[in-house]
Amino acid sequence: MVYCDQESYPTSIRRQKKGFGAAVGIHPKKVQFFPQSKFEELGNLLRLNTVVALGEIGLNRCAPESTWKLQEEILIKVLQLSMPIRQVILHMRDAADQHCGEVGARCLQIMRANVAPTQRIHLHCFTGTVEQVVS
């Protein structure tokens, strides 16, 4: 289960089957609807042993340009909730008419500045380059 819309955050998360867990985050297209009060709830959910990942989180350049700065601010703030034991699921999508990896480069720059180099990352919706992945 992936809970990346604050309106669908559960109050508790039961373990489904062995080897499976939940992810909680905030989708970049939903950042303008994410109230400050939800950060504490997101942090509490991340501490549950049934939650195995923070995500999906990231940057999406298909969203209106007016939200791009807020997407980056929320991403940085949410990364402060990350934990080495929780994988980060990154949503990185360039604008519909671009597949140059600009958003991937910016997202990875933010990641390098805000999480440990050993942080496990799952790339979701990635439109970047192979070089960005291996760097």
Q: What is the pLDDT of residues 45-68, one digit of tens each?
A: 999 888 999 999 999 998 999 999
- Asked if residue 66 lies in contact with residue 32, where contact means CB atoms within 8 angstroms, the answer is no
Tokens of 60: 């999406």
What distance in Å separates the CA atoms of residue 30 and residue 24, rounded to the nearest whole number?
Answer: 13
Nearest to 13 by CA among 55, 49, 57: 49
pTM value is 0.87
What gap in Å lies between CA 54 and CA 69, rounded to an integer? 21
Domain containing 85 equals 2-134
At residue 44, the 3 state secondary structure works out as: helix
First CA to last CA across the chain, in angstroms? 29
Q: Is the pLDDT of residue 119 over 80?
A: yes
> How many percent of the chain have pLDDT more than 90?
46
CATH classification of the domain holding 76 = 3.20.20.140
Q: What is the residue whose two structure tokens read 């990364």?
A: 79
DSSP assignment, residue 37? Answer: T
Distance CA 45, CA 81 (A): 10
pLDDT score recorded for residue 128: 67
Instruction: Locate 16 and state its tokens.
Output: 């489904």
> Cis ω on the peptide bond leading into residue 56 (within 30° of 0)?
yes
99 contacts 130 by C-beta, under 8 angstroms: no
The pLDDT assigned to 100 comes to 65
- Asked if 89 and 57 count as a contact pair (C-beta separation under 8 A), the reply is yes
Average pLDDT over residues 17-40: 89
pLDDT of amino acid 6: 81
For the chain, how many structural domains are there in total? 1
